[in-house]
């Protein structure tokens, strides 16, 4: 059983994401849609972004790419680095291994915020739309480091070929 859940709240220009469970590409469109929606305006709804991964049990490269994309949007809008909370050693090793510590401020402790978060609604998308989302997420990973570029370039090239 997949207990993946994405919760969100925006309070006083602080955007809070709480992700939990197994985060796989098959359930990434809700997160992607939310990120695009938040940053499509010239003046984004967020002045500060906080991501809580404390309840994540598994995260795949697509979701990591979405996190990289979120951080890139923050950079493009001259916002502070997003803060990422995670106490899961394996998740932290994976995120740092893919250079997310260069675009996030890591806080390796629990959050104690009592914020009323709302589940993110997942829209049904075509396979083509999902494929483009997976491609964008992996392209965001390429931009983080030369190591990522070497590791994910074949994946990105294959996705591009399949989508053309």
Mean pLDDT, the chain, as a whole number?
92
- Topology adopted by domain 5-163: Transcription Regulator spoIIAA (3.30.750)
Confidence category of residue 41, pLDDT binned at 50, 70, 90: confident
Q: For the chain, which residues make up each domain, given as ranges?
A: 5-163
98 pLDDT tier (thresholds 50, 70, 90): very high
Q: What is the pTM of this model?
A: 0.93
Task: Give the mean pLDDT of 87-109.
Answer: 95
* Residue range 7-29: mean pLDDT, rounded: 92
Q: How many CB atoms neighbour CB 45 within 10 A?
A: 13
pLDDT for the residue numbered 1: 39
Indicate the burial class of 94 (C-beta count within 10 angstroms; 0-12, 13-18, 19 or more).
Answer: middle
């Amino acid at each position: 059983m997949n207990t993946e859940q994405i919760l969100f709240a925006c309070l006083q220009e602080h955007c809070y994401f709480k992700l939990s469970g197994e985060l796989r590409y098959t359930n990434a469109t809700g997160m992607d849609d939310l990120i695009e929606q938040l940053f499509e305006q010239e003046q984004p709804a967020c002045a500060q972004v906080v991501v809580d991964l404390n309840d994540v049990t598994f995260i795949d490269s697509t979701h990591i790419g979405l996190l990289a994309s979120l951080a890139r949007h923050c950079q493009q809008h001259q916002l502070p680095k997003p803060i990422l909370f995670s106490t899961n050693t394996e998740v932290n090793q994976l995120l740092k291994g893919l250079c997310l510590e260069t675009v996030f401020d890591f806080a390796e402790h629990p959050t104690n915020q009592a914020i009323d978060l709302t589940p993110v609604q997942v829209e049904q998308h075509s396979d083509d739309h999902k494929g483009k989302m997976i491609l964008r997420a992996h392209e965001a990973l390429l931009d983080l480091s030369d190591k990522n570029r070497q590791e994910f370039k074949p994946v990105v090239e294959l996705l591009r070929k399949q989508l053309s």
